[in-house]
């Protein structure tokens, strides 16, 4: 299927090049982007301050939307809303809004499914393709339209591995940060990676270390991590740790480790002490996530007490630790539960 580019995903350089082609002044580019990213225009007719010649050029070169809204589902406690969208090539994708007082965080997807195939994660059970930058940022735009207000934070923690969709992720971040885009500060954007080591280095360099980095650790033991996080066989824990230490010495930026706790798999005192050895030299924060069940099964959620013991051991050795509240588990919107389709639900 040959599809046009869409307005979502258009950046300032591209918009300026287009207005020059039709002999319009440069300021028209920012007008276009304001309608797209600030006002979230829904029809071509909304672009009321553009000349007809430029509007016709836009129509000929771009489709309006890359996603169509399908439905949203609010969790009973009201803190999480899962949004379902359809792409132009008929795939379904999911995004999540997490509401915490004045903090509105959107968890965006970067791929349709995921190629990393982490054993405990629903997203890795299938893979169709990577999303475009437009499809990534349009998730945020749709949610802002539904809310009627701006979101405050973005986390790249939905379906897919952001650094496996590197260029689209970078472009989406530029749009989210830009004054002509969504205008979000770098500290309000977090990118999560399972540990594609060469891309971590490149990502930190190209974003000047200004975007928060979250690393999915899930085990401090090479053999165990390779079983539950297959990419560890290619980019080992030893290599990952070495890379993160080098980046920490150079940039002094905070790193967070995500650690999904699974009963009898990675919840032992030995694992906890291994996490201490990795995280303490980095001054890293550890975010513990009790396993969220998926329909394929295979793992068990640890007891509250088991997670407390693991957390207390990390704290005893000086680590900053949080235990993530499982917002959205009742609507399959929690960590590890997003998937490419809803077949079988």
Contact call for residues 79 and 99 (beta carbons, < 8 A)? yes
Helix (H, G, I), strand (E, B) or coil at 55: helix
Whether 118 is a known active-site residue: answer no
- Separation CA 142–CA 109 (nearest Å): 13
Give the CA-trace dihedral at 308, 314, 316, 321, to 10 degrees.
-80
Tokens at 30, concatenated: 């920012």
Distance of CA 127 to the CA centre of its chain: 16
Contacts of 304 (CB under 8 A, 6+ apart): 290
Catalytic residue, chosen from 34, 202, 335, 343, is 335
- From 94, 138, 144, 271, the catalytic residue: 94
Tell me 35's DSSP state: I
Judge contact between 278 and 245, C-beta under 8 A. no
Q: Has 335 been annotated as catalytic?
A: yes
Place of tokens 């082609």: 21
Residues 6+ apart with CB under 8 A from 12: 29, 30, 33, 178, 180
Query: How many Å apart are CA 177 and CA 172, to the nearest integer?
Result: 9
**Residues with catalytic function:** 94, 335
């Amino acid at each position: 299927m040959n599809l046009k580019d869409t307005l979502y995903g258009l950046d300032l350089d591209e918009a300026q090049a287009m207005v020059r082609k039709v002999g319009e002044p440069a300021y028209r580019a920012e007008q276009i982007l304001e309608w797209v990213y600030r006002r979230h225009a829904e029809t071509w007719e909304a672009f009321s301050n553009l000349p007809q010649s430029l509007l016709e050029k836009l129509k000929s070169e771009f489709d309006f939307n890359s996603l169509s809204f399908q439905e949203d589902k609010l969790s009973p406690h009201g803190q999480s809303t899962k949004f379902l969208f359809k792409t132009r090539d008929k795939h379904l994708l999911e995004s999540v809004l997490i509401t915490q007082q004045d903090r509105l965080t959107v968890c965006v997807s970067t791929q349709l499914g995921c190629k990393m195939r982490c054993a405990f994660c629903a997203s890795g059970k299938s893979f169709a393709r990577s999303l475009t930058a437009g499809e990534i940022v349009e998730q945020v735009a749709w949610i802002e339209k539904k809310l009627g207000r701006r979101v405050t934070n973005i986390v790249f923690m939905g379906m897919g591995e952001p650094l496996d969709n590197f260029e689209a992720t970078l472009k989406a971040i530029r749009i989210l940060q830009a004054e002509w885009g969504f205008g979000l500060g770098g500290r309000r954007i977090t990118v999560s990676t399972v540990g594609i080591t060469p891309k971590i280095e490149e990502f930190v360099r190209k974003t000047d270390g200004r975007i928060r980095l979250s690393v999915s650790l899930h085990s401090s033991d090479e053999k165990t991590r390779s079983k539950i996080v297959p990419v560890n066989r290619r980019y080992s824990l030893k290599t990952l740790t070495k890379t993160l230490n080098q980046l920490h010495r150079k940039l002094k930026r905070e790193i967070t480790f995500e650690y999904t706790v699974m009963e009898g798999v990675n919840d032992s005192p030995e694992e906890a002490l291994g996490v201490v050895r990795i995280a303490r030299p980095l001054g890293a924060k550890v975010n513990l996530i009790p396993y969220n069940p998926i329909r394929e099964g295979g793992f068990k959620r640890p007891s509250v007490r088991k997670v407390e013991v693991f957390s207390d051991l990390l704290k005893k050795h000086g680590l900053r630790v949080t235990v993530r509240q499982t917002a959205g588990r009742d609507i399959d919107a929690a960590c590890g539960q997003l998937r490419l389709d809803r077949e079988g639900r």
